[in-house]
Each structure stands twice: as structure tokens, then as C-alpha cells.
Amino acid sequence: MPTLKNDRLLRALRREAVDVTPVWMMRQAGRYLPEYRETRRKAGNFMNLCQNPELACEVTLQPLDRFPLDAAILFSDILTIPDAMGLGLYFEEGEGPRFQHPVTDEDDITRLMVPDPYTDLRYVTDAVSLISRELNGRVPLIGFSGSPWTLATYMVEGGSSKTFSRIKAMMYNRPDLLHRMLVTLADSVSIYLAAQIESGVQTVMIFDTWGGSLSPSSYREFSLSYMTRIVENLKASKSTVHVPVVLFTKGGGQWLEEMADSGCDALGLDWTTDLSDARSRVGDRVALQGNIDPCVLYASPDQIRQQVAKVLDSFGAGNGHVFNLGHGIHPEVNPDHAAVLIEAVHTLSRPYHQ
Amino acid sequence: MPTLKNDRLLRALRREAVDVTPVWMMRQAGRYLPEYRETRRKAGNFMNLCQNPELACEVTLQPLDRFPLDAAILFSDILTIPDAMGLGLYFEEGEGPRFQHPVTDEDDITRLMVPDPYTDLRYVTDAVSLISRELNGRVPLIGFSGSPWTLATYMVEGGSSKTFSRIKAMMYNRPDLLHRMLVTLADSVSIYLAAQIESGVQTVMIFDTWGGSLSPSSYREFSLSYMTRIVENLKASKSTVHVPVVLFTKGGGQWLEEMADSGCDALGLDWTTDLSDARSRVGDRVALQGNIDPCVLYASPDQIRQQVAKVLDSFGAGNGHVFNLGHGIHPEVNPDHAAVLIEAVHTLSRPYHQ
């Protein structure tokens, strides 16, 4: 491992002092960038892009060549694990992810096997190794996975859902089946993230995109408990280096205290929670990552700067803040606006670190 | 006004004692009922159904003929006001609401006029009068409107949106314009709800379907402040009878204390907040309405009863609970399951009121 030239992200995640607040953006390698659209065109489709380590590396690095970001994030999809389980992930243009073979009954669940990350998901570990080498210590590389609950929703619904009728019918009628599936998924995510760490990522994030669709007690039982299990697995591992773990439940603003109890190092926040409130609720137990409304990037440069200032002010002085959007950057955003945001974070955060 | 034979809803909204917890369901007159689908077929399309007082009355009463519900809710749409402003509301099958003439610039906003509920929205006040007469005091009738922010999102986006890019660009770049529009909408909603009350509804609910897409400070400035204004207008009116006002912000679980400060009588809650927590946060200032996950209705009768018991237990003993779903009933739900839920609320809540 080459020495990190910019370790702001890792320091902030460990709640150590930094010169300026580190910043990265969810989906920073994505459709708002013309160079990304060009590479994706070359790849033919989204899955080819994910599964080709050279192209995945290329798009991972693209935003870093444009912007002084403080981290790279592996270009991949949250649904690689169910795809490796044989569900057949594919994307219809403008439709979101779909599975050819969704989980429909007990037999389907019995057949689910924990994928071997070094064979079944080799394209991911290869991409991580390649990106690590290419980054050469410029900034840290972030690895990630979907949360077990979030993976399960797509696997049972067969794609995106507004109502989650199938998975929730299973949750209420056959919680035993859902738990069996979630155990397999939590084991899969644990070794998948461990393999990403062994291949070179320096922190990992668990995306619980759909945890916010649950009631508090269901969230605890079907989502948070399995994320906690993954955190414990990663922290207990004797073979894997211990890296900061970030949990992000979209719409989980009401459950931050419990999320912090998972043993994770940081919480990702969407924009519906004030950082000042979040900070007073979780204290110094975890760092906070977030949380500007991605729609701020539709505003004028002046307005973007003002909104960045508000978010920085909401966190206030002290350690443990990683600036990010509260959700992925939208495809229609002007890249110059992203540049304004990143520059504003670095410039305007300096006084908070003196 | 005939004397109410069943006043549980109004008593609960005023936090007075009841024999059992009153229950109604958002979208209780809706697609899950075969008799509703039949009437809608007769009407030709959804707008005809809304705009024909006899048919609107028919579908409003349908769920009451099936189930021992404790309230009727006016059958209408949240977007009647912008339609009356000339935006041309229509529905594409499976697409949600659309406007022929969305608000795109300052001129469009300048042209917006407060509709006269007794002429421009006569089909609503007529429907209310007719339903009131037909109900003849059986149960109270609930009136409603979309919140100013929620109406504005549809008016500017031209329909449903996942990202709210247009309205948020306006919010960040031209807050003055958005405020101008929201003032007109708040005035419109105030006199619209007053007209519903004068025509016979005995409580009103403001649906803030999209308030949860905002940051806390934007929620305060662009949604809650205008709902507060409506509550104040209704409470200050010398000509209108004072009826309980319910505020419901989907995804607003983090802001309950501030919502209770609006002067409203009750808060509607989605299922992401525990009623026990909500109760301890808002104290005895407001009643609470909700909040079972509508997906519980996909479960078996046994499971439905267990989940109802959990929600009742979460609120606990005492006054001020109206049982409801945390969102509208889904179209695929078996009506027999709704019957199980309603029966369970009445049976299982009795001990909490002794």
C-alpha cells in the first residue's frame, strides 16, 4: 500500500483533526459526467461497465480528474451479490434494476448460496486492485455493498418497488423465511466487504436504501440487526484489516441512536435531519457523513455556496464530519455546479478546523 | 345538522374518552373495492368520478356499507385547487396525476387566482352537502385538501416526481416566486376547507404528501409555515364553525413537535414513527392518527390482528388516538383483510378505554 497523500476522509471518519472538511459525492462517477456517458456507451450497457475492471476503474477515476475530491468510490452496483447468487441482474433503460429470477418461494431461498467474492465476484475484487494501483495513494478508495434488507427487497420484488408488497407480505406471514434469507445475505455481504478490504479499499459503506420503508420495530429486526452483524464480523475478523464502516439508511433519521449502537464508525445522513440535531443525539460515538439536498446542485453557484455554508454551520466546529450529498447526484446536474460545491466545502470549512 | 350517532372520531380528535378506538382508512373508498371499480367504470374516468357529486357520494359511502368504520371521507382528489386555477388536471392510466399547463415561469404564478369554492369547486361543496345528507349523522364526514407545498410540487413538476428538480430549483433560486405561489395556495386552501366545513364536513385533514422531501429548514419555511397559516385562518374565522384540523406530513416523523406547534388538533403519522415515542414527544397537545403499515393488509388475518395489537399497545391507554393506516390502502388488498383490521381495532382497543 502506498502512503496516502490525502487522508482527510479517513481522519474525519475516525473523528481526528483535519485542515478542511473532506468531501465526496454519492454517485460521483455517474451520468451527470459526459466522460462517464462516453465510457458507458463504449461498454454497451451498465452491467458490462460494472463487470469490466478496466472500464470500472476508468469511470471511478473520472471525477477525480475533474474535481479535488477527497475520496474515490468503487464503481459498481449495490446488487452484485444477488446477481452472483444467480438471480440474473439486468437493467432496462430508465427502468432501474431488474432480476430475471426473483425469489418467489421457500425453495428459491433454500437454493441461495453465499457467493465467493474471489471467484463469483472476481470482477469486483479485480476492479478494486486495479483502482488502488492507479490511485497510488492519491485519495482513499471507498468500497460498498447494499444492506441485506435492501438486497432482499430487490430479490423478492424482482426490481424496484413503491409499496414493497411482496417482501412485506413475506415479512409479516413468513418472517422465518425472510430471516433465513437475511442470514445468507449478511454472511455474503460480510465476506464481500472483507474481500474488498483485502483488495485495497480503505473504508466501506453499507447502503440501506430501503430501510426507511420499515416501521421502527421491523427496521430493528429486519435491517439494522443484520447490518450490526456485518459490522461485528468485520471488526472481529483476524485476517482483515480494520477499516472505518459507514452505515447509511435513507430515511433513517429517526433511528440514529440505534444505528450508532451497531458499532459502526460513521453514519450517512440524508437531508431530512439537521446535522446539529444528529450530532447532539449521537454525541461523539460516530462521525457523520452528509447531508446536503442533491437538488441544491440545480441552484446557482451563489446559492450552492450559501447552502454549503448552512450545512457546515449546522455541523459546527470540531472533528468527525465528511461532507456529502444526502443521496446520489442527479443525472441532469451541470458538472460545473459540482465543482462549485466541492470548492465551497474546502474553502468555507477551513475556519471550523482552526 | 342531524345528531351524530357515532362521534368516536370527533371525541378522539379532541382527546376525549371513547368506548373503543375509532378507525378509518386513508383511501378507504378506492380501487381495492370491486364496487368502487364498478362505479369508476361507469364514470368513464377518475376526474368524472370526482366531479360528479352523485357518483362521489356513492363511492364515499361504499366502504361504510361494508365495514363498521367510524368516519367517512369525502371522495375527491388533493389536486382540485390547481385544476380550478386552470392547470388542467388529468390522469393517465397507471401514471398518476398530470397537468396540461404546469407552472413554468413568473407570469404563470402572477396569473394564479384563488378559486371560489362555491363556483369553481362547486362539484366539491355539492358532493359534501349530498354526502352529509345521505350520511344523516351515521358517522362524521372528513374533508381535506393537499398542503400548499404539495400542491406546488405537482403544479411546478407537472405531475409526480422522484427528485422534485424543478420545484427545488425554484426554491433555491427564486424563493420569492415560490413564496408568492404558496401564499395564493394557502389562501385557496383556507377558503376551500372553510367551504367544505360550511357544507357539512365535521373535521378536515391537510395532506402534505411531499413535505418529507425537504430539509428541516426548508420544511419549516415552505411547508409547515403555510399549513400553520391555514390552521390559524380556520381557527380565527368568525363565520366558520371550528372543527378539528389534522396535519399529515408523510415522512415528517422528525418534525412532530414543530407540527404540533401549528395549533392543529391532531397529527397524522406514517408507520416509521412509534406512537409511544410520538406521544411522549408531543405530550397532550394533539391527538395522533395512524399508523399501521398499509402492507400489513397483505398478511394473514392472524398476523393483521397481531400487528393491530402492537399499534394499539404502542399508543397505550388514554385518549387521543384515531387508528388509521400510515398511508392509503393499496389497490391489491383483499377487502376481507380490511374488515379484519377494523374489527380488530374495535375489539382489541376496548381494554385501553376502561
pLDDT tens-digit readout, A196-228: 999 999 999 999 999 999 999 999 999 999 999
Surface of B (163-202) touching A: CB under 8 A = 163-165, 168-169, 172-173
A293 touches chain B (CB under 8 A): yes
Which pLDDT tens digit goes with each residue over B175-229? 999 999 999 999 999 999 999 999 999 999 999 999 999 999 999 999 999 999 9
Catalytic positions of B are 27, 31, 40, 77, 154
Of the residues A32, A36, A154, A219, only one is catalytic, namely: A154
Kindly state the average pLDDT of the residues A230-249: 94
Which pLDDT score is estimated for A2?
A: 76
Q: Which of B172, B251, B332 is opposite residue A272, by nearest beta carbon?
A: B251
- Provide the shortest C-alpha distance from residue B298 to chain A (in Å): 5
pLDDT over threshold 90, residue B238: no
B95 touches chain A (CB under 8 A): no
Interior angle at CA A183, CA A180 and CA A189, nearest 5: 140
User: What percent of chain B has a predicted confidence (pLDDT) above 90?
Assistant: 94
Q: What is the dihedral of CA B315, B141, B192, B127, to 10 degrees?
A: 150
Quote the CA–CA distance of A49 and A130 in Å, as a whole number.
Answer: 15
Which pLDDT score is estimated for B273?
A: 97
Which pLDDT score is estimated for A348?
A: 98
Instruction: For chain B, give the mean pLDDT.
Output: 96
Which pLDDT score is estimated for B239?
A: 82
Q: Do A298 and B330 touch (CB under 8 A)?
A: no
Q: What is the dihedral of CA A324, A328, A333, A334, to 10 degrees?
A: 50
Q: Which of A165, A212, A272 is opposite residue B295, by nearest beta carbon?
A: A165
B253 contacts in chain A (CB < 8 Å): 253-254
Q: Do B295 and A216 touch (CB under 8 A)?
A: no
Which pLDDT tens digit goes with each residue over B101-158? 999 999 999 999 999 999 999 999 999 999 999 999 999 999 999 999 999 999 999 9
Which pLDDT score is estimated for A238?
A: 85
Min mean pLDDT across A65-79, A86-100, B122-136 is at A86-100
Which pLDDT tens digit goes with each residue over B311-333? 999 999 999 999 999 999 999 99
Quote the CA–CA distance of B343 and B337 in Å, as a whole number.
Answer: 10
Q: A173 to chain B: nearest residue by CA?
A: B299
Kindly state the average pLDDT of the residues A287-306: 97
Which pLDDT score is estimated for B96?
A: 87
pLDDT level of residue B162 (50, 70, 90 thresholds): confident
Q: Do B295 and A164 touch (CB under 8 A)?
A: yes
Which pLDDT score is estimated for A353?
A: 97
User: What percent of chain A has a predicted confidence (pLDDT) above 90?
Assistant: 94
Quote the CA–CA distance of B282 and B257 in Å, as a whole number.
Answer: 6
A212 touches chain B (CB under 8 A): yes
Which pLDDT tens digit goes with each residue over A149-185? 999 999 999 999 888 999 999 999 999 999 999 999 9
B248: helix, strand or coil: strand
Q: Do A169 and B307 touch (CB under 8 A)?
A: no
Q: Do B215 and A271 touch (CB under 8 A)?
A: yes
Which pLDDT score is estimated for B95?
A: 77
- Provide the shortest C-alpha distance from residue B201 to chain A (in Å): 31
Q: Do B215 and A272 touch (CB under 8 A)?
A: yes
pLDDT level of residue A136 (50, 70, 90 thresholds): very high
What is A127-143 written as a DSSP string? HHHHHHHHHTTSS-EEE
Question: What is the crossing angle of helices A175-199 and A165-173, to 10°?
Answer: 120
B215 contacts in chain A (CB < 8 Å): 271-272, 274, 293
Of the residues A40, A98, A229, A279, only one is catalytic, namely: A40
pLDDT over threshold 90, residue A22: yes
The answer to whether the beta carbons of residues B245 and B231 sit under 8 Å apart is yes
Which pLDDT score is estimated for B92?
A: 82
Q: Do B173 and A251 touch (CB under 8 A)?
A: no
Question: What is the crossing angle of helices B165-173 and B148-157, to 10°?
Answer: 110
A298 touches chain B (CB under 8 A): yes
Instruction: For chain A, give the mean pLDDT.
Output: 96
Which pLDDT score is estimated for B70?
A: 98
Q: Is the pTM of this model over 0.80?
A: yes
Which pLDDT score is estimated for A73?
A: 98
- Residues 6+ positions from A208 with CB-CB distance below 8 Å: A146, A147, A149, A150, A223, A227, A247, A248, A249, A250, A252
pLDDT over threshold 80, residue B233: yes
